[in-house]
Structure 1
Amino acid sequence: MSTAHVRALLDHVDAKLPRESWPHWTEGWPHEIEAGLLDAAFSARATYGTPTTGVRAVITRWRDHRAAPLDDLTALAAHADEPEGLLAVLNNRQRVPGNYTTKAEAVASAARSLTELGCTTSADLRDDEAQRNAIVGVPGFGAATWECLAMQLGIRTAESHRLVCEFLGEALDLEAPPSTADAEHLVASAAVRLEITPATFTHAVWRHQRAQRRVASAR
């Protein structure tokens, strides 16, 4: 891929997800599985917000409550049987798609399911069937919840890679998405130009593609 391709990609980024107005130019929550799970749950059908509103406000409240690094799911899992305490801390009673439970209750249930598999920290998370099923099996959660959790922790799934490649293909007006090698080169080159990490670039693009998909499905 040439310098012209990288320039075209940057122009597409400026047009579709400008950094000054797009809230997702972050690396996600590396090494913080609790924050990643909360993000995956509370960002569903909700405004992402600023550090003091929306999803990030929920995570901030949990961080203040924990007063510790957010990388131990047992803290959330402890609320699975009696979620009222978690609801009070998070101060958010949004409900999951399908209205089965509150998002806080679903988070606690998912945390317990993962810990029962031996997944308690970010280092334990991997894209395998058992862990995926632990998330997808929670009423109101689904494949998108799992994909979001994995992305927050820097785990690239086949689906997240496909979404990023779709964006790159659209940016360069390609007939087919770029190869894995070309995609990695484009992401790395664009990240250098933007003075961010490749993880930050990938996260922002992935979030944008998910939002576009939701808009398309609602039509």
Structure 2
Amino acid sequence: MSTAHVRHLIDYIEAELPQGVWPHWTEGWPREIEAGLLDAAFSARATYGTPTSGVRAVIARWRAHRGEPLDDLAALAEYADEPAALIAVLDNRQRVPGNYTTKAEAVALAARSLVAAGCRQSSELRDEEVRRNALVQIAGFGNATWECFTMQLGVCIPESRELLKDFVIDALAPEVEVTSTTADELLAAAATRLDVSPATLTHAIWRYQRAQRRLAGAR
């Protein structure tokens, strides 16, 4: 890794997802597992919006109802048998992919399932089969939901790491042979130069890569 490589990566970042334009320069929802689950559900096939619209408006309404911190899935699980009440709180009737149910009901069911699997707070979130299965078994959710959920809490699973590595490859190949370790080192150095936390940079890039993947799939 050289200073020139870091500079080229930063140039690519600034060209593709400039901080003044790309809306995802945040750390996600560290230590707020409820917000992370809501984000994973409501960002699926939806416009992410601004801090006062879209997904973040849903989370803001839940925060106003619930208070802080949003780090106990039992609060959402309480609505598993009464989803209409959660729909009213969130003021959102969007449905999950496949139209199986509302996103609000799927969130409540997933929260109950995750609590039963031993994942109630952000400190208990790990990329383990029992926890992953607890989420993906909910109709309308899947591995993409799990990837988004974990990323919002700062848990970078293999699928997410591959997206980040691919971004660095796009920025620097063929001049640089990019391994997972090289990608991590370059992203950490770029975050320092951009004066943001590594979590903020990787979250912004991950969102960008997800958007690019969706666009490619639509072609």
Shorter-chain TM-score range: over 0.9
Superposed, which structure 2 residues align to 1:59-138 within 5 Å? Answer: 59-138=59-138
Q: Structure 1: which 5+ residue stretches go unaligned? A: none
Q: TM-score, normalised by structure 2?
A: 0.97
SS at match of 1:138: coil
SS at match of 2:202: helix
Q: CA deviation at 1:178?
A: 1.7
Q: Is 1:146 the counterpart of 2:146 in the alignment?
A: yes
Aligned length: 219
Indicate the residue corresponding to 2:8 in structure 1. Answer: 8
Indicate the residue corresponding to 2:36 in structure 1. Answer: 36
Rounded to whole Å, the distance in 1 between the matches of 2:95 and 2:149 is: 18
Rounded to whole Å, the distance in 2 between the matches of 1:177 and 1:108 is: 44
Question: Which structure 1 residue ranges, 4+ long, deviate > 4 Å from structure 2?
Answer: none
Q: CA deviation at 1:181?
A: 2.2
Indicate the residue corresponding to 1:209 in structure 2. Answer: 209
Cα contact 1:27–1:152 (8 A) shared by 2: yes
Q: Structure 2: which 5+ residue stretches go unaligned? A: none
Q: Deviations over 1:68-110 (max 9, x none)?
A: 2000000000000110110001001111000000100100010
Percentage identity across aligned positions? 66
Cα contact 1:165–1:177 (8 A) shared by 2: no
Q: CA deviation at 1:174?
A: 3.1
Indicate the residue corresponding to 2:164 in structure 1. Answer: 164
Cα contact 1:40–1:149 (8 A) shared by 2: yes
Going from structure 1 to structure 2, the CA distance change for 1:96 and 1:175 (only over 3 Å counts) comes to farther
